[in-house]
């Protein structure tokens, strides 16, 4: 067993264990955990400073998860967009491969919380063969995103088998890997892992960091090792009520990410997922946060704010309502709130 596997096996999975570490009554959490399992690494738990702080809210089960809501088990329609097990094909040229169903820490707001079978430790499904063949037969697919669960919960060998197989598909131009492990189980990012990963370039990694409290010397070191392996790092943040729905917090997070050589990629509006309603914010608040970033900090610290439309209609980027048109003049609002006239270029008209 590798060191990180031992650390993972010491994670907290039971409300009684939790009550040994936090001033919390385990009783009301039992039905929540029966429906949506609990797992928190000791490392991630150690980041909690007080009740209901941003780390607490992301990982500690809450009876609100069982409130009846009109939200969906599968808001993005991933089931219908899945032609073979574990593969989601929504956009023509890129697919998501759900290679793992496990995570070191189960986020209470997880988009796939109703879909992932959390019992196993890593593999999402038994055989990837059908998924490989699906990609092989479709030359239009040029980008594969490894997701889950967390792909980095696979062993180095398990992950390398997937990468090897994908690398052999001539029309694939790149591989992406989405992971939250640098902030939930930083010990997993070993030199050995990175030596392996760097043989599969162009490989991009998107981390999932939601709050400056998640950035510690350990997670910084993990990200540094990845960046040193020449892996371009991006980050996806989910906009979460009571966690990061605040312009100052979000600005601090984006700026800190850049110091870790991570380029903020997306801020996601919460998906309409059953059991996560208490994390939802208004789009208006998201737009306020975007307005507080654009122009007020480095452009590199300004990601796109995206809504993943229900029923698998795709992601759209939303912008503050900054444009008005009068004839051929655009009136644009800058970061100071000034309205500036801008003469538009001519549109090509087809004859």
Q: For ligand SF4, which stretch binds (CB under 6 A), given 89-97, 143-151, 168-176, 293-301? A: 143-151
Among positive and negative, which fits the CA dihedral 43, 111, 320, 314? positive
Residue 150: contacted member of ligand SF4, ligand PLP, none (CB under 5 to 8 Å, by partner type):
ligand SF4
**60 near ligand SF4, rule: CB under 6 A:** no
What would the x/- binding string for ligand PLP be over residues 311 to 330, using CB under 6 A?
Answer: ----x---------------
- Whether 241 sits among the annotated catalytic residues: the reply is no
Site string for ligand PLP, 114-153 (x = CB under 6 A): -------------------------------x--------
Pick between residue 8 and residue 144 the one whose CB is nearest to ligand PLP: 144
The listed partner (ligand PLP, ligand SF4, none) that binds 149, CB under 5 to 8 Å by sort, is ligand SF4
Separation CA 172–CA 142 (nearest Å): 4
Ordered DSSP codes for 24-47:
--SGGGHHHHHHS---B-HHHHTT
Q: How far apart are CA 55 and CA 119, in angstroms?
A: 24
* Distances from the Cα of 81 to the Cα of 71, 73, 77, 99, angstroms: 19, 14, 6, 16
Q: Which of 61, 149, 182, 186 binds ligand SF4 (CB under 6 A)?
A: 149
Select 118 or 261, whichever has its Cβ closest to ligand SF4. Answer: 118
Burial of 197 (0-12, 13-18, 19+ CB in 10 A): buried
Residue 266 annotated as catalytic: no
Q: How far is the CB of 232 from ligand PLP (least distance, A)?
A: 13
Catalytic residue among 62, 74, 150, 271: 271
- In this structure, the strands spanning 203-207 and 233-238 are parallel
**Site residues (CB under 6 A) for ligand PLP, limited to 87-116:** 88, 90-91, 94, 96
Of 36, 39, 59, 90, the active-site residue reads 90
Active site residue 308: yes
Q: Scan residues 207-246 and list those touching ligand SF4 (CB under 6 A).
A: 208
HSE-CB for 75 with a 13 A CA cutoff:
23
**∠ CA 272-275-277, rounded to 5°:** 55
Active site residue 107: yes
Examine residue 110 and tell whether it contacts ligand SF4 (CB under 6 A).
yes
Among 107, 153, 253, 289, binds ligand SF4 (CB under 6 A): 107
**Stretch of 101-109, 211-219, 244-252, 313-321 contacting ligand SF4, by CB under 6 A:** 101-109
Q: Is 110 a catalytic residue?
A: yes
DSSP secondary structure letters along 55-122: HHHHHS--GGGGS--S-BSSTT-TTTT-SSTTEEEEETTEEEEE-B---SS--TT-TTTTT---SSSS
Q: Give me the least distance between CB of 138 and ligand PLP, in Å please.
A: 14
Least gap, CB of 112 to ligand SF4 (angstroms)? 6
Please tell me the distance from the alpha carbon of residue 134 to that of residue 157, in angstroms, as a whole number.
23
The backbone region for 295, taken as left when phi is positive above 0, alpha when psi lies in -120 to 50, beta otherwise, is: left
Residue with nearest beta carbon to ligand PLP: 90
Q: How far apart are CA 89 and CA 292, in angstroms?
A: 34
Residue 76 or 172: the one with the smaller Cβ distance to ligand SF4 is: 76
* DSSP letter (8 states) at residue 199: G
Active-site residue flag, 311: no
63 with 33: CB under 8 angstroms? no
Distance of CA 260 to the CA centre of its chain: 17
Query: Could you list the active site residues?
Result: 90-91, 94, 103, 107, 110, 112, 271, 308, 315
Q: Which residues bind ligand SF4 (CB under 6 A)?
A: 103, 106-107, 110, 112, 148-150, 180, 208
Q: Which residues bind ligand PLP (CB under 6 A)?
A: 88, 90-91, 94, 96, 145, 315
């Amino acid at each position: 067993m590798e060191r990180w596997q031992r650390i993972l096996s010491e994670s907290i999975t039971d409300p009684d264990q939790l009550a040994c570490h936090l001033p919390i009554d385990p009783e009301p959490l039992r039905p929540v955990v029966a429906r949506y399992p609990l797992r928190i690494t000791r490392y991630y738990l150690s980041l909690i400073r007080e009740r209901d702080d941003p780390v607490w809210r992301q990982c500690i089960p809450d009876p609100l998860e069982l409130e009846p809501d009109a939200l969906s088990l599968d808001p993005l329609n991933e089931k219908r967009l899945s032609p073979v097990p574990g593969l989601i094909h929504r956009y023509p040229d890129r697919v998501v491969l759900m290679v793992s169903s496990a995570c070191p820490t189960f986020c209470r707001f997880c988009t796939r919380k109703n879909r992932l079978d959390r019992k196993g430790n890593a593999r999402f499904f038994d055989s990837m063969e059908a998924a490989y063949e699906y990609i092989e037969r479709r030359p239009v697919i040029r980008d594969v995103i490894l997701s889950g669960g967390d792909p980095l919960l696979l062993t180095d060998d398990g992950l390398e088998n997937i990468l090897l197989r994908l690398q052999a598909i001539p029309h694939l131009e790149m591989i992406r890997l989405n992971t939250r492990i640098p902030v939930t189980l930083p010990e997993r990012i070993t030199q050995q892992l990175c030596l392996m990963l760097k043989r599969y370039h162009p490989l991009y990694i998107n981390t999932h960091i939601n709050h400056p409290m998640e950035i510690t010397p350990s997670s910084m070191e993990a990200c540094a090792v990845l960046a040193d392996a020449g892996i371009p790092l991006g980050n996806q943040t989910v906009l979460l009520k009571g966690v990061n729905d605040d312009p100052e917090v979000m600005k601090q997070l984006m700026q800190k990410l850049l110091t870790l050589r991570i380029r903020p990629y997306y801020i996601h509006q919460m998906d309409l997922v059953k059991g996560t309603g208490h994390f939802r914010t208004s789009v208006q608040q998201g737009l306020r946060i975007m307005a507080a970033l654009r122009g007020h900090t480095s452009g590199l610290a300004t990601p796109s704010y995206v809504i993943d439309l229900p029923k698998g209609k795709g992601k759209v980027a939303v912008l503050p309502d900054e444009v008005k048109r009068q004839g051929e003049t655009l009136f644009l609002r800058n970061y100071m709130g000034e309205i500036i006239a801008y003469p538009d270029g001519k549109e090509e008209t087809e004859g």
